[in-house]
Structure 1
Amino acid sequence: MSAQGGTAMQERVTIRLAKQNMKFSAGHFTIFSASERERLHGHNFTVEVDIEARMLGNGMCFDYGLYKDRVVALCRELNEWTILPTRSPYLRIEEDGDHVYAHFDGQRIPFLRGDVLLLPIENATLEEFAGWFLQRLCEDREALRAHAIDAIEVRVLSGPGQSAGRRVRLG
């Protein structure tokens, strides 16, 4: 196929990864301001990934099983934790032996260390979880180039009808 001017067009494809095992269960609370937050609660989150890539021949773009496995592994990292953000301007984290304390608006909220996952995010929100997955999926830039990947979008859902997505264009 050729475009105007005789130069060859390279076909692009979008692969959607939305497997049943791309999920995690976690406790969290969203921080709205310096004095307002949700109560601690949990969700069964699901993760979907769209990968835009160039066709590489042989009727395919790349072995996207590699990315399915990576998303499942990342979900396992978050599964069955209470997630606390370490970059919030309104939350201070204190670690003391077997305990973690979240300091918020004059409150000292205790957690068992073994129940808490401290994530380098600003808030425990769908938007930030999507960004965390996206950042982790984009760590191996060499592999992304080798697979001719142009863009990745990650969407995290906390239930039917409620999700947030983050997208990055590569190259």
Structure 2
Amino acid sequence: MPRTATIDLFKESMKFSAGHFTIFSATERENLHGHNFTLRVRITGVVDDNGMLFDYRATKRRLIALCAAWNETLLLPERSPHLRLDTSDPAEVRARFGDELLRFLPRDVTLLPVVNVTLEELSRLIGERLAVDPEVGGDPTILAMVVEVASGPGQRIAWRWSRAGEGP
């Protein structure tokens, strides 16, 4: 029986401070605010003949780069049925929610392919990116993964993937 192990990637640099607002319905949203988000990833797989689960250095670098790219930006959902985004003007990003028009500088905005900027959607987005990464989900010796995103102490969501079960 092959030996398995789980690596827990939870580095100080795997964090980002970002603004957002949660959309509850076509008529209700939170006010714009921010969080100091943290990211934690656990990857389980078969230990190879060299005594390693996998070379996780590139995965760590990708996660740290993602956090750096999202840091100090406003995260907006591209797929929300209740928020209309207009990026046609190079001077501003316009977000229309009901009768509200919000304007932001493009350099301050990160558009994400999600329906809402929630812990559930952020953990899924990061997890699905890892699941299709050739060095993680594409590696047949990787068996499972848990991606956790927290918006502060005591509030964390976990997205789970398993080669044997559901995936992206």
| TM-score normalised per structure 1 | 0.89
Alignment RMSD (CA, Å): 1.6
Give the residue type in structure 2 aligned to 1:148.
T
Superposed CA offset, 1:79-124 (max 9, x none)? 1110110000111001222111111121111111221111111101
Partner of 1:136: 129
* Residue 88 (structure 2) pairs with residue 101 (structure 1): no
Give the residue type in structure 1 aligned to 2:41.
V
Please point out which of 17, 34, 39 is paired with 1:42. 34
- Evaluate the alpha carbon distance shift between residue 107 and residue 145 of structure 1 in structure 2; reply closer, same or farther with a 3 A threshold: closer
Give the residue type in structure 2 aligned to 1:117.
T
* Residue 43 (structure 2) pairs with residue 61 (structure 1): no
SS at match of 1:141: coil
Partner of 2:151: 158
- Within a 5 Å distance, the mapping from 1:1-171 to structure 2 comes to 9-95=1-87, 96-141=89-134, 144-146=137-139, 148-170=141-163
Instruction: Quote the offset at 1:43 in angstroms.
Output: 0.8
Confirm or deny: 8 A CA contact 1:61 1:147 kept in the other structure: no
Q: Where do 5+ consecutive residues of structure 2 fail to align?
A: none
SS at match of 2:54: coil
SS at match of 1:165: strand
Give the residue type in structure 2 aligned to 1:107.
E
Give the residue type in structure 2 aligned to 1:136.
R
Confirm or deny: 8 A CA contact 1:26 1:82 kept in the other structure: yes
Superposed CA offset, 1:41-60 (max 9, x none)? 11111000010101112332
Off by >4 Å, runs of 4+ in structure 1: none
Aligned pair count?
A: 163
Confirm or deny: 8 A CA contact 2:95 2:103 kept in the other structure: yes
Indicate the structure with greater helix content: 1
Confirm or deny: 8 A CA contact 1:62 1:147 kept in the other structure: no
Task: Give the greater-gyration-radius structure (CA).
Answer: 1
